[in-house]
Amino acid sequence: MNDVSLGALRVSPQGLGAMGMSAFYGTRDEAEAIATLNRAVDLGVTHIDTAEAYGPYENEKLIAKALGARRDEITIATKFALDFENGAVMDGSPAHVRRAVERSLRHLEIDVIDLYYLHRVDPDVPIEETVGAMADLVTAGKVRHLGLSEAAPATIRQAHATHPIAAVQSELSLFVPDLLHNGVKDVLDELGIGLVAFSPIGRGLLSGAIQKVDDLDPDDARRTLPWFTPENIAANRHLVDRVSAVAADRGATPAQISLAWVAAQGAVAIPGTKRRRYLEENAAAMEITLTAAELKALDEAVPAGSVTGARDTPAGLARNHL
């Protein structure tokens, strides 16, 4: 398959979000996770997304264990923001930038990180200071490209003026099309910055597999999110059914159609999964190009403002710099 551009970085047209293999999404199976990561590379899904916060640290260590021998075949993206060594406080200071990159390099067992994100913007540190310190890592050869996550248009401009930003990662799905309308996508297109979409299947809801809250593991962190209350799952089920109808007409799954919609917005999706069977289903979406009629049908299936509930908790939304 042909790679696509995130700024000056070339990546596979779909990535793999590895978070759930180590944290947040219920039960974990290391052997299956390792098999899934290797199967991804075999399928050409070589853009692997992780972060310090996933564990913390455990997901980066898993990537090293699973793919250490395949380093030259993959693009590794990781993120920093919270300082877990000092109470898990948000810290975008240059000193923390320098500490965090050394931790990630050590846990990933690599010499250079392909794409290094500021996971969330620290409102108490000027973005020019944080990105300036990240730029020093590029000069030192420890990082190849820089990224931001959940950043506002003005912040993106300030960061990019300090050092070229290759990618901005934000939540984007049929359920969360916000950044297509809040100026973020316009700024990215203007500046030539790539868009990486996390939770492109609506945190699993758009797969159609979650019909009730008890379909989630007892320790699945999604149980704490507004979308996953029994009332909101029930309220949003008809929207998923509409997406499923469009998918059925195409001979695809609703997850595949959701991923194809994200690709049609010019974004690189990083769907997360812990299992090979879902990875293979997701990867097949790269072969789907939606028609104008299908895109219109999907926009009508999930009209703006029709999703019941917020995508995250108030505390989680407050960390976003949008």
Catalytically active residues, by annotation: 54
Give the strand pairing for 89-90 and 82-83. antiparallel
- What letter represents residue 249's amino acid? D
Q: Determine the Cα–Cα distance for residues 237 and 243; give it in Å rounded to an integer.
A: 10
Q: Determine the Cα–Cα distance for residues 116 and 133; give it in Å rounded to an integer.
A: 12
Q: CA-CA distances (angstroms) from residue 25 to 120, 152, 161?
A: 20, 27, 37
Structure-token pair, residue 315? 């505390």
292-301 vs 254-264: helix crossing angle, rounded to 10: 110
The closest alpha carbon to 16, from 47, 44, 61, belongs to: 47
Give the strand pairing for 143-149 and 165-171. parallel
Q: Determine the Cα–Cα distance for residues 69 and 40; give it in Å rounded to an integer.
A: 14
Give the strand pairing for 75-80 and 9-11. unpaired
Main-chain phi, psi angles of 49, to 5 degrees = -110, 130
Question: Tell me, what DSSP letter sits at residue 199?
Answer: S
Give the strand pairing for 9-11 and 4-6. antiparallel
The closest alpha carbon to 127, from 94, 102, 96, belongs to: 94
